[in-house]
Structure 1
Amino acid sequence: MQLLFGTAAALEHPYRVQPEVEDFLRDAPEGHFAIGFWGHGMQSHVFYVQRVEPWCRVYLRIAYGGVYSDHEEQALKLHRVLHWLSEFLREARSRCRHLRLVDSMGDAQLKLESIDGDEAFFRCSADQMACKDARVSDLLEVRSDLQLERWLME
């Protein structure tokens, strides 16, 4: 594990592997923030972003590295996701009462509740949303995974 940046809360309990996603969503304390690299073996490498604030929980494990991987393609994907994420969360902070974004190497979900009480739940990866430059306003208009899938493919 290579922690690039993390708060004291993140150092106490580093949620790094797939089985810990639910623990993170349930137990990680406010103020938990960490970014870095994690991996072992020849194929299990990720760049991770974890963030907990009163209004949101973000747990991303984006594939990056491994001996058989296309590192250039993964670097472009990671850049796209991180660029999208900062803008997405900036908008979400003003439009959402609660947001939960999880993407653990493709096992993904987004749940949000707007300030007005509208709710949405989707299973789509952060990269899919980043490719489309999805915004909270876009997602609140889409009401089902099927509608979202169609919109992402347009």
Structure 2
Amino acid sequence: MEAVAKAGANKDCELRKILDEVSPRNFEKINKLLVVKDEEIAKLKDEIGIISAHSKLKTKELESQLEKQRRADQELKKKVLKLEFCLQETRSQTRKLQRMGERRDKAIKELRDQLAGKPQSVVAGGEKQNQNFWETSGFKIVVSMSMLILVAFSRR
């Protein structure tokens, strides 16, 4: 009987401890803690909303920068293609000029070879020109007029 009474008294103590823990003071403490935690949760929700809005703005900014970079990249690609085309055109014209220069050098060499091979013909051609000059009617008229003027001045 005593053991049962002691066991009952122990259970009574445990019940009193539980009741003490759930007492109005503890209830108020728990309530205050819940209010504080609710406020913290509200603050965190607000911060999450702000961070979310900020990240959306940053994402939009980055997307617009990416689009600008893409456009700039396309413009640069166009310019590179134009420059490559100009370079090809320049190379083509350079080759044409080189071929023209080679042909000119070849023609000059042929003319030099011809001149070196026919020096006697050139001299003979020059003598023919000289003979032709002395035999022209214009030259004869000039000579005869100058002779006439010399004779007229010499008599005076």
Q: Settle same-fold status: TM greater than 0.5.
A: no
Instruction: Give TM-score scaled by structure 1 length.
Output: 0.18
Question: Which structure has the larger Rg?
Answer: 2
Q: Which has the higher contact order (CA 8 A, sep 6+)?
A: 1
When you count helix as a share of all residues, which structure comes out higher?
2
When you count strand as a share of all residues, which structure comes out higher?
1
Instruction: Give TM-score scaled by structure 2 length.
Output: 0.18
